[in-house]
Amino acid sequence: MHRLRIVCLAVVLVAAGAVACQKSLPTGPSDPQTGIVIYEDANYRGRSAHLTEDVRDLRDVRGPCESYDSDGSNGGRNVYDWNDCVSSVRVSPGWRATLYRGADYRDDALEITADVPNLQLITQHDCPHDGLNDCVTSIRVRRQ
């Protein structure tokens, strides 16, 4: 019985450590002056995050969307991140962003210099959802 408690405690500590290692982004300001703000829902609703630098993989950033990590690196569990979770974007004056479907700035890309209230309306991509909604995995953020 004592050995079982130690094993269970070890599993809990490993799982907690994996969650603790995932970085967080600051929430979006109501009127951004720098960078961009990504939103969980269309029309700038839902949870948000403020970005002023590139994010090579939104799976590495704690966020509102739940997915199941089945690759074994986290023991096969539910994770919460920003991957495939962006539905609208605000762009601060003088800034631009490039949204990518794949990690490491790969696959389909969309460069934006103005607000996009609904990524569902961006249809020139092969995302299995409507438009580019919930299909962003990496983002480059730059001053113009």
Q: What is the CATH number of the domain that holds 76?
A: 2.60.20.10
Residue closest to 15 by CA, chosen among 58, 62, 70, 78? 78
Mean of pLDDT values over 9-36: 59
Q: 92: number of CA atoms within 13 Å, CB side?
A: 18
Range with top average pLDDT, 21-25, 26-30, 102-106, 119-123: 102-106
Residue 10 lies in a domain: no
Residue 16 included in any domain: no
Tell me: the pLDDT tens digits for 48-99? 999 999 999 999 999 999 988 776 565 678 899 999 999 999 999 999 999 9
Domain assignment present for residue 97? The answer is: yes
Q: How many helices (H) and strands (E) does the chain have?
A: 1, 8
Residue 44 covered by a domain: yes
Range of the domain at 127: 24-143
**What total number of domains does the chain contain?**
1
The answer to whether the CB of 65 falls within 8 A of the CB of 18 is no
Listed in sequence order, the residues at least 6 apart from 35 whose beta carbon sits closer than 8 Å to its beta carbon are 50, 51, 52, 53, 92, 95, 141
31 versus 85: which is more confidently predicted? Answer: 85
More confident residue, 136 or 6: 136
Q: What is the pLDDT of residues 105-132, one digit of tens each?
A: 999 999 999 999 999 999 877 888 788 9
Res 121: pLDDT: 93
Whether the per-residue pLDDT at 9 is higher than 70: the answer is no
Would you say residue 5 lies in a domain? Answer: no
- For residue 29, being part of any structural domain is answered with yes
Instruction: Please report whether residue 14 resides in a domain.
Output: no
Please indicate, yes or no, if residue 99 is contained in any of the structural domains: yes
